């Protein structure tokens, strides 16, 4: 399973690689990282149908996670991949917008990796 993680914080890559090192080792999961919404879209364009799950931060400079979500769910890929939004602000407005735009799930920072792993496994 290929997962695209979108976050403007570069250390997120190291963190995910450490957190999921067993899954990566066993090739159960494969991670790709993008550090902005634009980068994520570019990746999705060039690697169509590769990523089945997208984990995206909302609060990013430039294209926000919500805009990215809109692009993916409305204009891109059919069938659209599963998109989970992760945000530092777990407020109702963000949550509602994300849901309206078709987010499959909504997580707040700090991410509970145990919970995330379980969720990923159910999708799998």
Partner 1 sequence: MQFEFVVLIILFAYLRNNLQTKTRYPQWDKLLLGGLMLSVAFLIIDTTIKSSGVITPWIAHALFFSIIYLAITRKEFKPVLSIVYAIIPLVAINFIEDVVMLINVSFYDEWSSYFKTAGIFASIWLVAMLIINRRQRKALEKEQLKTAEKDKEVRITESLKAELEVQVAERTHALTIQKEELQHALNELNATQSQLIQSEKMASLGELTAGIAHEIQNPLNFVNNFSEVNAELIDELTQELEKGKIEEAMAIAKDIKDNEQKINHHGKRADAIVKGMLQHSRSSTGVKEPTNINQLADEYLRLAYHGLRAKDKTFNASMKTDFDASIGEIDIIPQDIGRVILNLITNAFYAVTDKKKKIPEGTSYDPIVTVITKKEKGKIKIKVHDNGDGIPSKVLDKIFQPFFTTKPTGQGTGLGLSMSYDIVSKGHGGELKVDTKEGVYTEFVIILPLST
Report the residue number, 9 or 118, with the smaller CB distance to partner 1.
Answer: 9
Q: Which residues sit opposite 108 in a β-bridge?
A: 87
88 binds partner 1 (CB under 8 A): yes
- Whether residue 104 is preceded by a cis peptide bond, meaning omega within 30 degrees of 0, is no
The one segment of 27-35, 42-50, 63-71, 98-106 that binds partner 1 by CB under 8 A: 63-71
The one segment of 6-14, 23-31, 39-47, 73-81 that binds partner 1 by CB under 8 A: 6-14
Report the residue number, 63 or 82, with the smaller CB distance to partner 1.
Answer: 63
Strand order across the 30-34 sheet: 30-34, 2-6, 53-57, 82-87, 105-108
107 binds partner 1 (CB under 8 A): no
Residue of 89, 93, 71, 88 lying closest to 80 (CA atoms): 71
Answer whether 72's CB lies under 8 Å from 43's CB.
Answer: no
Binding site for partner 1 (CB under 8 A): 9, 11, 14-15, 18-19, 59, 61-64, 67, 88-89, 91, 93-94, 97, 109-111, 113
């Amino acid at each position: 399973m290929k997962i695209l993680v979108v976050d403007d914080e570069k250390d997120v890559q190291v963190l995910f690689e450490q957190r999921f090192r067993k899954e990566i080792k066993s090739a159960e999961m494969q991670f790709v990282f993008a550090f902005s919404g634009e980068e994520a879209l570019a990746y999705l364009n060039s690697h169509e149908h590769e990523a089945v799950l997208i984990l995206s931060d909302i609060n990013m400079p430039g294209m926000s996670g919500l805009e990215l979500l809109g692009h993916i769910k409305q204009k891109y890929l059919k069938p659209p991949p599963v998109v989970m939004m992760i945000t530092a602000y777990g407020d109702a407005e963000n949550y509602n917008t994300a849901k309206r735009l078709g987010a499959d799930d909504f997580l707040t920072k700090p991410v509970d990796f145990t919970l995330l792993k379980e969720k990923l496994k159910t999708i799998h």
